[in-house]
Amino acid sequence: MQLGHTVVVADLRTAVLERPGASAASVYDRPIGLRLLHEDAQSGEHYLIRYPAGLKGLAHQHSAAHTIVVLEGKLDANDQIIGPGSYAHFPANQPMRHQSGGDEDCLFVIIFHGPFDVHVLEDTGDS
């Protein structure tokens, strides 16, 4: 995507998703669906993500803060289950775990407030 262009996705629920790169995939116990919506070197990256039902994630952190808005299903955000219309914000460099929170897929938008990176943390067995 190029800078300065308006990005419109008329229906996020039916948008085509792809498989993420190895760094993002290393956090989860199975593949997730992902679509890059917007990318800017200064303001960050926006993605549409679908977690399959039952997906488990490892504790990890990002160097950029990020915000999640749940569109469908349930998300387990640091042991708090949130559903459609919910918002979660994760500060930069903070340990976190987000994963599927129910018996159905979870679709959400994630907005990174800087470039994407991920660092998997040693799993303590919690959650």
> For every one of its 127 residues, what pLDDT tens digit does the chain have, with 9 covering 90 and above?
345 678 888 899 989 898 876 667 789 999 999 999 999 888 899 999 999 999 999 999 999 999 999 999 999 999 999 999 999 999 999 999 999 999 999 999 999 999 889 999 976 554 4
**Token duo for residue 16:** 């085509």
Global pTM reads 0.87
The residue with tokens 């775990």 is 97
Nearest to 96 by CA among 84, 109, 108, 80: 80
* Cα(19)–Cα(22) distance, integer angstroms: 9
CA within 13 Å, CB half, 45: 14
Q: Where are the beta strands (DSSP E) in the chain?
A: 33-40, 44-51, 60-61, 66-72, 75-77, 80-82, 87-90, 98-100, 106-112, 119-120
* Cα(13)–Cα(23) distance, integer angstroms: 25
CA within 13 Å, CB half, 81: 8
pLDDT of residue 22: 67
Domains of the chain: 20-116 (2.60.120.10)
